[in-house]
Amino acid sequence: MNSPLLNVSELSLCSPGGILCEPVSLSLNAGERLAILGKNGTGKSTLLHTLCGLQPVTAGTVSFEGRDLRQLSGQQTARLCGMLFQHEAEPMPATVYEVVMLGRLPHARQWHWESRQDHDIVQQSLKLLNLSSLATRDIHTLSGGERQRVAIAAVLAQQPRIFMLDEPSNHLDIAFQIQALNLLCERVSQDNTALIMATHDINLAARFCTHVLLLNGKGGYRFGETESVLDSATLSDAFECRVDMIVTPERRLFFPA
């Protein structure tokens, strides 16, 4: 049997303030999409950062197709995991095209210039996020939503095996939220990759993800298929706020009461 694309076993989540959660175990196969839900400060970003090697694994193991994260080089990890950050500082000038091209860095060889293929991939990513006309603009001149689309285009250009998205819907209007996540999910099923997103939008998670990891902030977590984890009682408990649900013909909708 093949190893799952991502396997996490007994992983500790620590912040400078202490332990965030009991050791986490989960696994994700190709084609699956995982949402990480939970209140502020429960460790959603910490988990994402740990999974893509930005924070050391202190206890437990993270492995990609059976290969331990700690054995992988930075470049190997960057080919596997494409990280979209929640907020990025942009102090130095750069054009949209240059920022998206940085997504190709994990695939670059020392002293090599970008290939024709790299340029094609960047142009295609720009086109998918309606950014082609902004390619030569300095990123400082863009709105928050446009910058978020640039960041999504860059992570698409990175062509990782697992997309790791921290608040992918940040700054996006509802039309672009749906467009961007549709795009990412299509990419996941097309290329047989996977996606993990930390989000505060329960409905986006319910709509786009096959699995949910719910951190309850009291040291516990629930992991499972979306239908089995998301219900109003569990969510109310995790968010310490009454969450109601209505069922429409298409989907279930959650909202704070």
CB of 210 to another protein, least distance (A): 24
Among 7, 77, 169, 170, binds another protein (CB under 8 A): 77
> Under the criterion CB under 8 A, does residue 144 sit at the interface with another protein?
no
CB of 222 to another protein, least distance (A): 28
Structure tokens that stand for 5 in this block: 């694309």
Among 2, 40, 71, 136, binds another protein (CB under 8 A): 136
Residue 81 — φ and ψ, nearest 5°?
-115, 125
Structure tokens that stand for 152 in this block: 């999504």
Q: Which residue, 28 or 83, is less far from another protein as judged by CB?
A: 83
Q: Which residue, 32 or 166, is less far from another protein as judged by CB?
A: 166
Q: Which of residues 85-104 bind another protein (CB under 8 A)?
A: 85, 88-95, 97-99, 102-103
Q: Which residue, 127 or 251, is less far from another protein as judged by CB?
A: 127
Q: Which residue, 4 or 106, is less far from another protein as judged by CB?
A: 106
Q: Which residue, 18 or 91, is less far from another protein as judged by CB?
A: 91
The stretch near another protein (CB under 8 A) out of 62-70, 106-114, 221-229, 235-243 is 106-114
> Under the criterion CB under 8 A, does residue 119 sit at the interface with another protein?
yes
CB of 52 to another protein, least distance (A): 6
> Under the criterion CB under 8 A, does residue 50 sit at the interface with another protein?
no
Q: Which residue, 85 or 161, is less far from another protein as judged by CB?
A: 85
* DSSP codes joined into one string, the chain: -PPPSEEEEEEEEEETTEEEEEEEEEEE-TT-EEEEEESTTSSHHHHHHHHTTSS---SSEEEETTEEGGGS-HHHHHHHEEEE-S-----S--BHHHHHHHTTGGG--TTPPPPHHHHHHHHHHHHHTT-GGGTTSBGGGS-HHHHHHHHHHHHHHH--SEEEEESTTTT--HHHHHHHHHHHHHHHHHHT-EEEEE-S-HHHHHHH-SEEEEE-SSS-EEEEEHHHH--HHHHHHHHTS-EEEEE-SS-EEEEE-
Closest CA to 47 of 171, 55, 195: 55
User: Which residues would be at the binding site for another protein (CB under 8 A)?
Assistant: 52-54, 73-79, 81-83, 85, 88-95, 97-99, 102-103, 105-106, 108, 110-111, 113-114, 119, 123, 135-136, 138, 140-141, 158
